[in-house]
Amino acid sequence: GEDVEQSLFLSVREGDSSVINCTYTDSSSTYLYWYKQEPGAGLQLLTYIFSNMDMKQDQRLTVLLNKKDKHLSLRIADTQTGDSAIYFCAAGFEGNAGKSTFGDGTTLTVKP
Amino acid sequence: EAGVVQSPRYKIIEKKQPVAFWCNPISGHNTLYWYRQNLGQGPELLIRYENEEAVDDSQLPKDRFSAERLKGVDSTLKIQPAELGDSAVYLCASSSRHRTTNNEQFFGPGTRLTVL
């Protein structure tokens, strides 16, 4: 089955850019998602990209997809302390009605 | 629009006791998911419902776990008897193919289970 991997920790200074990386194994993944989880809360979708795209920008967020290498990244520009959270990469499939496989999350710490 | 509601938020039980979690998805969402999230890990799917039908329960430990979604709306996940290794956060999520184009899942806050 699908395997999704992420680095576990990232620490940046406020105002810098953050880049969180993710790799997945199933090239038939149709949707690639980034979810954010704050302490004591469930996951919240931040952004997503279809597999036929290579980039998507949404305000401070930029998602890059290298389908050949099965590599996904999330760049957060001008990182703020409120961005401190756990970020999960997930891969989903068109034909499987929303079933997604999640990575183990990257804990982003933003230092003032 | 109300989000996914879960209760209780926290539960502490002794091993071998039964426990039940309840989830009310977003109104109109036909797909409901139960996940288990261990500390430091991502969510792992336990069961997925399309309306009242369980369409994917391959990861549900059926010897002790059970779930139901009788009227295709709210759902209950039960563990009987609970084991120490069941300590985790149990997340419920819902989605609707008819309302979004990206199969986005909406998550509840989870129930944190501690088995002593």
pLDDT for the residue B19:
98
pLDDT for the residue A94:
64
Whole-number Cα distances in Å, B80 to A105, B38, B74, B115:
30, 19, 20, 12
pLDDT for the residue A1:
76
Q: In what order do the strands lie in the sheet with A18-24?
A: A4-6, A18-24, A71-76, A61-66, A55-58
A99-111 tens-digit pLDDT: 789 999 999 999 9
pLDDT for the residue A2:
81
Residues of A in contact with B98 (CB under 8 A): none
B32-52 tens-digit pLDDT: 999 999 999 999 999 999 999
Asked whether the predicted pLDDT for residue B78 surpasses 70, the reply is: yes
Nearest-CB residue to B91 (from A8, A42, A99): A42
pLDDT for the residue B97:
72
Chain A residue with Cα closest to B34: A99
- CA atoms of B78 and B75, how far apart (whole Å): 10
Asked whether the predicted pLDDT for residue B5 surpasses 70, the reply is: yes
pLDDT for the residue B100:
64
User: Taking residues B65-78, what's their average pLDDT?
Assistant: 94
The answer to whether A42 and B109 are in contact (CB under 8 A) is: yes
Contact yes or no for B103 and A105 at CB 8 A: no
Asked whether the predicted pLDDT for residue B94 surpasses 80, the reply is: yes
- Residue closest to A20 by CA, chosen among A103, A111, A112: A103
pLDDT for the residue B1:
67
Distance from CA of B18 to the nearest CA of A (A): 24
Residues 6+ apart with CB under 8 A from B100: none
Q: pLDDT 10s per residue in chain A (112 long)?
A: 788 999 999 999 999 999 999 999 988 888 899 999 998 888 999 999 988 899 999 999 999 999 999 999 999 999 999 999 999 999 987 655 557 899 999 999 999 9
User: Taking residues B90-109, what's their average pLDDT?
Assistant: 83
